[in-house]
Amino acid sequence: MKRIQCVVMGYGDRGSRYAEYAKTVPNELEIVGAVDVSDLRLQSAKTKFGLSDAQLYHSLDEFLAADVRCDVVINATMDSLHYATTIPLLERGYNVLLEKPVTASAKELLEIEAKAKACGCKVVVCHVLRYTPFYAKIKELIDSGKLGKVTNMQLNEHVWQGHFVNAYVRGKWRSEKECGSGLILAKCCHDTDLMCWLNNATNPYMVASFGSKSFFTKENAPTGAAEYCYACPCKNECMYNAEKFQIEKDFIPFYTWAGLNKPLDTITLEEKREFLKTDVYGQCVFKTDMDIVDRQCVTVEFENGSISTLNLVGGTSKAGRHIHVLCEYGEIVGYIEENKIIVREFNKEQVDYDEYLIDFNQDLSQEDNSVGGHYGGDYYIMKDLVRFLNGEATSVATTVISDSINSHLICYAAEKARKEHVVVDLKKEYGR
């Protein structure tokens, strides 16, 4: 099998995680370049993968001018940059591993699909949850046909407060106006992808949705709360006090301190305190410019009459993704955080059901370090990508761009439905 040569564009949290496969399985993947606007991140990639200065690029234009030969570019730039960066890559003949969401625009989404086809390039979308042993097993159970067709699917995502505040209240995804994506697209196109992939014997048809920003609002700020936590008379009683939340607990530090543009282990306590006096990470969570929802539900009717629901809640005490798939002859239930699946199959003779447990905590192999990063998804998507680009047999999870269309259209339709209080017909709205 040929070792795949790869360039990482956007060497942040996601890009660096995918690139880690080159360190874990160096005979399968080699990082031959990095593209980023940040010198700090470029130097990090240089050190990690032994790159030369000539293999570091500060812009897409600089990279394209260098005419670099590689098998794939990981595009892990911000959501709003995906279209503008992916189209030129495809026009130059590069295969692309594209971070989700693909784009916030249906027009751009379909253009990327068309451009990939026209240029003969492969675009794989990072719907990494498909690749986890947990969801792969659910897919296998459904496709076996033993439980009959899917009739109803219930998905829940609870976004832990540390993650939600640092990414969506104080973080860079807090504003649809700024980053281009609402919460359901930015956080849950994983989940809409799962509902389409697990039930791909049919296609989504109608979408309804409700949601709002109900908790992180100015009306819920403590009486007398200041704009910034350092000067707030309520800070000692507030669980979101930036001194406590960002420094003492230090939730997701690579989000919080990115604005200081220094290696995390070199940032002093005093620098952190000064930074929080003026940056949004030090601002009252009830008074940021957050313009996205903090809870939303989505209901999808499929062409064969099956129904799926997704319930998203931000700022919960504990993170959790739960799935309950009901089929004609049984059901599948699981929390991915527990890495366990319960299967119930109707027993026609007893007019009852037989139940059994699948425990991945016992079955997961440790040799590939696959238990980290989206429950193994970050590892397995790269493993699959290498085989895909080598023309070898791949998993059922392989997510080429055409497989990502429906999940994104559901997200677009959900936002239209939520904002306009309508039910959206996907074919009438998007022609798909």
Read off the pLDDT of each residue in 240-264 and give the average, rounded to a whole number: 94
Confidence of residue 95 (pLDDT cuts 50, 70, 90): very high
Dist CA 336 CA 321 (whole Å): 6
Tell me the chain's radius of gyration from C-alpha atoms: 22
pLDDT of res. 351: 84
Residue 307 burial class via C-beta count within 10 angstroms: exposed 0-12, middle 13-18, buried 19 and up: middle
Confidence of residue 423 (pLDDT cuts 50, 70, 90): very high
pLDDT of 363 > 60? The answer is no
pLDDT of res. 427: 96
pLDDT of 15 > 90? The answer is yes
Amino acid symbol at 412 = Y
Tell me if 189 sits within 8 A of 399, measured CB to CB: no
pLDDT of res. 372: 54
| pLDDT 10s digits, 106-140 | 999 999 999 999 999 999 999 999 999 999 999 99
pLDDT of res. 371: 46
The structure's pTM equals 0.94
Amino acid symbol at 26 = P
Tell me if 213 sits within 8 A of 292, measured CB to CB: yes
Residues 6+ apart with CB under 8 A from 366: none
Q: Is the dihedral angle over the CA atoms 159, 308, 151, 190 positive or is it negative?
A: negative
The two three-digit tokens of residue 112, written as one number: 């990327």
Q: Is the dihedral angle over the CA atoms 81, 86, 89, 95 positive or is it negative?
A: positive
Q: Quick one: three-class SS letters along 254-307?
A: HHHCHHHCCCHHHCCHHHHHHHCCCCHHHECCCCCCCCCCCEEEEEEEECCCCE
Percent of the chain with pLDDT strictly greater than 70: 97
Amino acid symbol at 179 = C
pLDDT of 350 > 80? The answer is no
CB contact burial 230-266 (16+ within 10 A = b; e otherwise): eebeebeebebbbbebbbeeebbbebbbbebeeeeee
| pLDDT 10s digits, 256-267 | 999 999 999 999
Taking all residues of the chain, what is their mean pLDDT, rounded to a whole number?
95
Confidence of residue 181 (pLDDT cuts 50, 70, 90): confident
pLDDT of 235 > 80? The answer is yes
The two three-digit tokens of residue 415, written as one number: 């936002």
pLDDT of 365 > 90? The answer is no
pLDDT of 248 > 50? The answer is yes
pLDDT of res. 256: 96
Q: Could you tell me how many residues make up the chain?
A: 432
pLDDT of res. 376: 87
| pLDDT 10s digits, 187-215 | 999 999 999 999 999 999 999 999 999 99
Domain ranges in the chain are 4-128, 129-216+290-372+400-430, 223-282
Q: Is the dihedral angle over the CA atoms 46, 48, 51, 52 positive or is it negative?
A: positive
Confidence of residue 362 (pLDDT cuts 50, 70, 90): low
Q: Which helix (H) or strand (E) holds 156?
A: strand 150-160
**97 closest CA partner among 122, 117, 65:** 122
The two three-digit tokens of residue 329, written as one number: 């002859």
Read off the pLDDT of each residue in 382-390 and give the average, rounded to a whole number: 97
Confidence of residue 368 (pLDDT cuts 50, 70, 90): very low
The domain defined by 4-128 carries CATH number 3.40.50.720 = yes
pLDDT of res. 432: 82
Confidence of residue 97 (pLDDT cuts 50, 70, 90): very high
Tell me if 361 sits within 8 A of 355, measured CB to CB: no
Read off the pLDDT of each residue in 326-337 and give the average, rounded to a whole number: 96
Dist CA 285 CA 170 (whole Å): 7
Tell me if 343 sits within 8 A of 364, measured CB to CB: no
Read off the pLDDT of each residue in 375-404 and give the average, rounded to a whole number: 94
Read off the pLDDT of each residue in 172-198 and give the average, rounded to a whole number: 93
* Rounded alpha-carbon distances, angstroms, from residue 48 to 4, 73, 305, 323, 365: 17, 18, 50, 37, 26
Domain 129-216+290-372+400-430 architecture: 2-Layer Sandwich (3.30)
